[in-house]
A = this chain, B = another copy of it.
Amino acid sequence: MVSIIGAAMTPFGRHLDRTIVSLAIEATRLALQDASLAKERIGACYFANTLGPLIFGDTTLGQNLTAATGLYRIPVINVENACASGSTAFHLARNAILAGDCEVALVVGAEKMCVPDFGLINSGATELDTQLGMVVPAGFALKAQRHMYEYGTTAQQLAQVTVKSRRHAALNPLAQFRQLESMEQVLASPLIADPLTRSQCCPIADGAAALILASDDFAARMKRAVKVKASVLASGIYDGRCDLTHWETDYETVRLAYERAGIGPQDLDLVECHDAFTISEILHYEALGLCDRGEGGQLAESGATELGGRIPVNVSGGLLSRGHPIAATGLAQIVELVTQLRHEAQDRQVEGCRIALAHCMGGDKAGDTKACTVSVLAKN
Contacts and interface: CB of A to CB of B under 8 A. Distances in A.
Contacts of A60: 80-82, 123-124, 362-363, 370-371
Contacts of A45: 235
Interface residues of A, number: 57
Interface string A53-78: 11011111011101100101111111
A58 B370 CA distance: 14
A76 B237 CA distance: 12
A339 interface: no
Given A60-B363, A124-B64, A78 B76 contact: no
Given A58-B124, A88-B77, A100-B98, A72 B370 contact: no
B59 A82 contact: yes
Contacts of A15: none
A149 interface: no
A365 interface: yes
Given A63-B371, A64-B124, A126-B57, A237 B72 contact: yes
B73 A236 contact: yes
A115 interface: no
Interface string A118-161: 00000111110000000000000000000000000000000000
A96 interface: yes
Interface in A81-126: 81-82, 88, 91-92, 94-101, 123-126
Contact of A73 (B77, B95, B235): B235
Contacts of A53: 53-54, 80
A218 interface: no
Contact of A79 (B78, B91, B94, B100): B78
Contact of A238 (B54, B72, B252): B72
A42 B301 CA distance: 42
Interface in A38-52: 45, 50
A252 B73 CA distance: 8
Centre residue among A62, A67, A88 by max chain B CB count within 10 A = A67
A24 interface: no
A233 interface: yes
Interface in A229-256: 233-239, 249, 252
A75 B233 contact: yes
A126 B56 contact: yes
B73 A91 contact: no
A188 interface: no
A99 B366 CA distance: 31
Centre residue among A59, A363, A365 by max chain B CB count within 10 A = A59
A285 B281 CA distance: 56
Interface string A184-222: 000000000000000000000000000000000000000
The 10 closest A-B pairs by CB, nearest first: A67-B238, A98-B99, A53-B53, A75-B233, A76-B235, A95-B99, A63-B370, A72-B237, A99-B99, A78-B80
Interface of A: 45, 50, 53-54, 56-60, 62-64, 66-67, 70, 72-82, 88, 91-92, 94-101, 123-127, 233-239, 249, 252, 362-363, 365-366, 370-371
Given A59-B125, A60-B123, A64-B124, 7 more contacts: A58-B124, A58-B125, A64-B127, A73-B249, A75-B235, A76-B370, A98-B100
15 contacts: A58-B124, A58-B125, A59-B123, A59-B125, A59-B363, A60-B123, A62-B235, A63-B370, A67-B238, A72-B237, A72-B238, A77-B79, A77-B92, A92-B92, A95-B99
